[in-house]
Amino acid sequence: MKGDIGVIGLAVMGQNLILNMNDHGYKVVAHNRTAEKVDEFLQGPAKGTNIVGAYSLQELVDKLESPRKIMLMVRAGDVVDSFIDKLIPLLDKGDIIIDGGNTNFPDTNRRVATLKEKGIHFIGSGVSGGEEGARFGPSIMPGGSPEAWPFVKPIFQAISAKTENNEPCCDWVGNDGAGHFVKMVHNGIEYGDMQLITEAYQFMKDGLGMTHDEMQSVFIEWNKTELNSYLVEITSDILGYKDTDGEPLVEKILDTAGQKGTGKWTGINALDMGIPLTLITESVFARCLSSLKDQRVEAEELFGKKESIVEGDKQVWIEALRQALLASKIISYAQGFMLMREASNENGWDLNYGNVALMWRGGCIIRSAFLSNIRDAYDIDPELSFLGSDSYFKGILENSMSAWRKVAAKSMEVGIPMPSMTSALTFLDGYTTARLPANLLQAQRDYFGAHTYERVDKPKGEFFHTNWTGKGGDVSSTTYNS
């Protein structure tokens, strides 16, 4: 009997996905560039299963049922292209290549198009959930050649995480790089969620002078509220974890954040599309700032920086912080969905936002109860332009407003940096202001560069130029927006 699917790449994610597929009754053919890895896997974790090995790409191809489904679980970038190039001459028309790595979506757009010319289908799929997710149920976000989906769907939906109603956290996202785009936004939101949690931690630790056990209890309590999520849950575990000397391990970890690039791509994409994705982008910058450790150490001394203690009832502050975190999180998701909406419109992907929320409901790093509410919001209005306008989320934003402002103001007053929570509030203040000072900005542009402006008392699309100083001319520069 031939294999149902082939997987190339036996690092931890690849191995775990294969074992997961095997658990669900699929026969998987496993290949790795180095043969020893195949042997190690077959004699180790895959021992006693139906998994078979392939020591060359030809052997892999020969061992697979038609149309062949070959999933690449290799490092994103050139390695993917090099495997595709080697596979093309071995494959038949109608065969399917799947890239399950964290690929930048323009690469997937390109690969779908080039492989289409050769009659080969390509799927770029986000896979989220880390090692454990891959092994027992990840969130899977596939997009690319729609013709390939019916062949891959049963396998992917079987191995994916399931919601509390047993719905698979995997569905077709859209054409081209839509799957990898949605995974990129997932990761951007992951950056935002993590940053918000760290800001709450710093406020509690430095502002309220709380111990790690106290902070752990707070996160345990918060996990029973609307904030219920995987990232809040692991944060409580982390805060309670003691090093061998009995001290909290987290305080021994160097405060410079790493990043593999997906958050940065989300920010770049938002700038490209003109979407004010402020919270996620602040979260990326917060990681960049954290990495300037030596400079920060020097600057703290140079400026004699001291944070003052947050006075007042601790319990009241903790509840205010919870509300500020929740409200900021709504803004982060609202911005992320704005970005997806713009990309969907620009690329003709016809993204189903409710389905995206469902795919993120289980298995992935940002899984949370909150995503069910997002799904409900898009069920009510599939074209919702701002998540915060949905009645459930609007209610939370309004109820949290005063606590959120208090936390933001206090953080500024005492000198605790909270870039994501404060930028979220600033965003909402901007978004809910009918008249912003961009009129003055337009006047400045016209003053120094004759860039023209529109008038509130004239139809849109009519452009005016003023000779502000009497010295400039009446000739305006061309009017276009990038």
Catalytic site positions: 183, 190
Torsion angle, alpha carbons of 262, 265, 271, 273, to 10: -100
Looking at 104-112, 122-130, 244-252, 455-463, which segment touches ligand 6PG (CB under 6 A)? 122-130
Q: Which is nearer to ligand 6PG, 128 or 335 (CB)?
A: 128
As measured in angstroms, the least distance from the Cβ of 270 to ligand 6PG is: 16
Residues 6+ apart with CB under 8 A from 146: 172, 175
Q: Which is nearer to ligand 6PG, 370 or 404 (CB)?
A: 370
For 228, the token pair is 């219920």
Are the C-beta atoms of residues 249 and 237 closer than 8 Å to each other? no
Query: Scanning residues 335 to 364, which ones bind ligand 6PG (CB under 6 A)?
Result: 364
Residues 6+ apart with CB under 8 A from 107: 76, 77, 80, 124, 177, 180
Residue 198 as a binder of ligand 6PG (CB under 6 A): the answer is no
Residue 99 as a binder of ligand 6PG (CB under 6 A): the answer is no
Looking at 125-133, 168-176, 236-244, 320-328, which segment touches ligand 6PG (CB under 6 A)? 125-133
Are the C-beta atoms of residues 196 and 332 closer than 8 Å to each other? yes
Among 15, 22, 160, 187, indicate the residue that binds ligand 6PG (CB under 6 A).
187
Query: Scanning residues 101 to 120, which ones bind ligand 6PG (CB under 6 A)?
Result: 102
Residue 190 as a binder of ligand 6PG (CB under 6 A): the answer is yes
Looking at 78-86, 123-131, 289-297, 320-328, which segment touches ligand 6PG (CB under 6 A)? 123-131
Residue 260 as a binder of ligand 6PG (CB under 6 A): the answer is yes
CA distances from 404 to 202, 274, 286, 420 (A): 16, 27, 20, 12
Residue 236 as a binder of ligand 6PG (CB under 6 A): the answer is no
Dist CA 270 CA 273 (whole Å): 5
Residue 130 as a binder of ligand 6PG (CB under 6 A): the answer is yes
Interface characters, 361-380, with ligand 6PG (x: CB under 6 A)? ---xx---------------
Beta sheet of 28-31, edge-to-edge order: 52-54, 28-31, 5-8, 69-72, 96-99, 121-128, 139-144, 174-175
Q: Which is nearer to ligand 6PG, 53 or 126 (CB)?
A: 126
Residue 259 as a binder of ligand 6PG (CB under 6 A): the answer is yes
CA distances from 209 to 42, 67, 88, 249, 401 (A): 52, 61, 60, 18, 24
Residues 6+ apart with CB under 8 A from 306: 415
Looking at 142-150, 224-232, 258-266, 444-452, which segment touches ligand 6PG (CB under 6 A)? 258-266
Residues 6+ apart with CB under 8 A from 305: 299, 415
Q: How many chain residues are in contact with ligand 6PG, going by CB under 6 A?
A: 13
Residues of this chain that interact with ligand 6PG (CB under 6 A) are 102, 128-130, 187, 190, 258-260, 262-263, 364-365
